[in-house]
Structure 1
Amino acid sequence: MITKQRLEAFSDGVIAIIITIMVLEIKTPHAADLESLKPLIPVFISYVLSFLYVGIYWTNHHHMILAAKSVNGKILWANLNLLFWLSLIPFVTAWMGENHFARWPVIFYGIILILNSLAYKLLAYMLVRHHGSDSVLNKAIGRDLKGWFSIVVYGIAVAASFINSSAGLILYFLVAALWLIPDRRIERSVNS
């Protein structure tokens, strides 16, 4: 029997490794003066943005699995799909920071954000399909306008990054800020 606890524990482990990989990309300067930290500013900003996104996915994943009663093989594969796209965040984070938010790294960062969002939606869909349209999970997720809105903004950010990568970066931060406002739909549904 497949348990949701194993899925959540494995996912938690992978997400912890993703965060660890990201922080290890911040190289310690060899000099001891404040000036030596200056080149690390873009790397740190990239790390902060990605840490926010990974944290957002972790908390939302936790709430979604909390609302699930069980999982099946299709859900396991949908979860692995999400973890695959999440595992690419350290790469695009490092690329973007090391290259001071140049056009192509910022564009690819947005593409990875889109693919993460779609993978999360697929996992949510598979969970709802497994539990039925009358399930607590389906009622909690609803139409997920915030999720669809995020994907649209990511697309706009990718397009804007072809012209000005700073515009794309600002939009990525704005979407992250939108998700920092806790989404209590699932918590309310599970606790009621």
Structure 2
Amino acid sequence: MKANRMEAFSDGVLAIIITIMVLEFKVPEEHNWHALIELGPKILSYIFSFVYVGIYWNNHHHLLHMIRSMNGRLMWLNLILLFWLSLVPFTTAWMGESNFAPAPTALYGIILLLAATSYWLLQLSILRQHPDDSTFYRLMSKDLKAKMSPILYLIAIGSAYVSPWLSGFFFVLVAAIWVMPEKRIEDLVRN
């Protein structure tokens, strides 16, 4: 199998994840602005998750361009990543429905932590295909974002029981450091 087939499959799964999330919205029975304000927590949790799925889609796309040869390990690691991401609509809905109660917010963070861990394992497996002296290896073996994210997720999970807004701050912080695609990979792909 070529990497572009895995990328196409992943794109399809991520598109379905976003579709499922938006289908969770039910049209309010009332026809005024106040009805939308009551949906605020659901809308906010959807925005969080849409941004996260978009970040994964964007960075995943760039990462897959670095695959030298496809193998079963990469396919399974990719499926594990997609598994955790497929749980995002459930945790998004629960978090929004509960007005960011501690347990749903913590579970949201746990799912994001597991997705981040899966992405890191996929990245590590692709990294192993490159010799130690390659530009890709030198750039990605020092990936500070990948090292910081799990720590920030753990803080977000724990702080969900102190303040869901504090937890949300850490979710936004992780998203902020990942929102721009891996420029280093973009430069390598272009050259």
Aligned to 1:138: 137
> What are the Cα deviations for residues 121-173 of structure 1, in whole angstroms up to 9, with x where unaligned?
11111112234434454234222111111111111111111211211011101
Supply the distance in 1 between the matched residues of 2:117 and 2:182 (Cα, whole angstroms): 18
| Paired residue total | 191
Supply the distance in 1 between the matched residues of 2:73 and 2:129 (Cα, whole angstroms): 9
More off after superposition, 170-179 vs 130-139: 130-139
Aligned to 1:73: 72
Tell me, what secondary structure is at the counterpart of 1:8? Answer: helix
Tell me, what secondary structure is at the counterpart of 1:143? Answer: coil
Distance 1:5 1:131, change over 3 A: same
Distance 1:63 1:140, change over 3 A: farther
Structure 2 matches for 1:20-169, cutoff 5 A? 20-169=19-168
Q: Give runs of ≥4 in structure 1 deviating > 4 Å.
A: none
Supply the distance in 2 between the matched residues of 1:50 and 1:7 (Cα, whole angstroms): 22
Q: Which amino acid aligns with 2:9?
A: F
Tell me which protein shows more helix as a share of its residues: 1
Aligned to 2:172: 173
More off after superposition, 181-190 vs 165-174: 181-190
Supply the distance in 2 between the matched residues of 1:127 and 1:181 (Cα, whole angstroms): 20
- TM normalised by structure 2 equals 0.94
Between the aligned residues of both structures, percent identity stands at 48
CA RMSD of superposed structures (Å): 1.4
More off after superposition, 42-51 vs 130-139: 130-139
Alpha carbons 2:156, 2:166 under 8 Å: kept: yes
In structure 1, stretches of 5+ residues that fail to align are none
Tell me, what secondary structure is at the counterpart of 2:111? Answer: helix
More off after superposition, 161-170 vs 5-14: 161-170
